[in-house]
Amino acid sequence: MRRFDYILETDVIDYSPNFTGIPTFKPEIEGFAKSNTIKFANVEDGISPETNQRVLASDNGGLADTKELFKINAFMPYFVMETVGLKTLNVVVPNYATKTSFKNFKFLIDSGTKAITAPDTIEVVIGGDPSQSITTSDLNAAALYSLDSEYITFESAIQYPVYYEAKIWLTPMQVFNFDFFKQYYIKQLGGSFYVNKIKGFNPELSKEATTVELIKISDQTPDNNMGEGDYFTDGLGNVFTDGVNNKFI
């Protein structure tokens, strides 16, 4: 799954010529609350389900105070105090004591700090007999996978939501090929938007504008006025359209 953070790196498509009518501004985005959480799907016994969760705040007018948005299909291992030589460290220790532990994918990342520095030794247990020791070179400690640097764009979009229901002219082919993971610029609304939903499109009624839900995500503008393809324009770059705002290719 592509991270929503990357949407600001995608193309900005000009849908200004497709916009029609008077939009409805809404003070809240359906499906969100004032506090929205993203959690790990599985944690080891004895660990709080809230370990390393991501909380996205929203100045949302909804009645709900909290909502669990979704869970990441990953496993959160132990985070323990480990003493190595004269050092006391926070070390991530996955539990492989049971067969089921191998069924869970584990996110482990480099903490950037040294867990063991030569010539410290660690004890290696083989067959239940802790009889062997090895001298290590510098080893970095693992750390818990953190979501703190992710979903930043998503959080900014829902924190102070600018949310519209608007009418957009769409052809059946445009709906069929629609890419939700792009920014759609609408000059009349002053920015680029994420299309949250296309509501009630009916190919038999495609001569009518379709209702879409728009969430503002940036002030980016298209590099040109050519929209999502190459269209005939006048000397000012305005796209030629027919009577129902379909653009001439």
Residue 136 has a pLDDT of 47
Residue-wise pLDDT for 219-229, tens only, equals 999 975 444 55
Q: Are residues 195 and 125 in the same domain?
A: no
| Average pLDDT, integer, range 161-170 | 92
Q: Are residues 48 and 23 in the same domain?
A: no
Residue 137 has a pLDDT of 47
Q: Are residues 230 and 186 in the same domain?
A: yes
The first and second tokens of residue 14, run together, are: 């000009």
Q: Are residues 132 and 172 in the same domain?
A: no
| Average pLDDT, integer, range 97-113 | 61
Q: Are residues 51 and 131 in the same domain?
A: yes
The verdict on residue 14 lying in a domain is yes
Q: What is the 3-state secondary structure (H, E, C) of the chain?
A: CCCHHHHHHCCEEECHHHEEEEEEEECCCCCCCCEEEEEEEEECCCCCCCCCCEEEECCCCCCCCEEEEEEEEEEECEEEEEEECCEEEEEEECCCCCHHHHHCCECEEEEEEEEECCCCEEEEEECCEEEEEEECCCEEEEEECCCCCCCHHHHHHHHCCCEEEEEECCCHHHHHCCCCCCEEEEHHHCEEEEEEEEECCCHHHCCCCEEEEEEEEECCCCCCCCCCCCCCECCCCCECECCCCCECC
Residue-wise pLDDT for 44-53, tens only, equals 666 778 878 8
Q: Are residues 44 and 21 in the same domain?
A: no
| Average pLDDT, integer, range 14-19 | 94
Q: Are residues 45 and 136 in the same domain?
A: yes
Residue 165 to residue 171: CA distance in whole angstroms: 18
Q: Are residues 221 and 140 in the same domain?
A: no
Q: Is the pLDDT of residue 167 over 90?
A: yes
- Confidence class for position 192, pLDDT limits 50, 70, 90: very high
The verdict on residue 64 lying in a domain is yes
The verdict on residue 155 lying in a domain is no
The verdict on residue 1 lying in a domain is yes
The structural domain count of the chain equals: 2
The first and second tokens of residue 132, run together, are: 């062997």
The verdict on residue 153 lying in a domain is no
Give the residue numbers spanning the domain of 53: 40-144
Residue 233 has a pLDDT of 63
Greater pLDDT, 118 or 74: 74
Residue 31 has a pLDDT of 81
Q: Which residues pair with 49 in a beta bridge?
A: none
The verdict on residue 152 lying in a domain is no
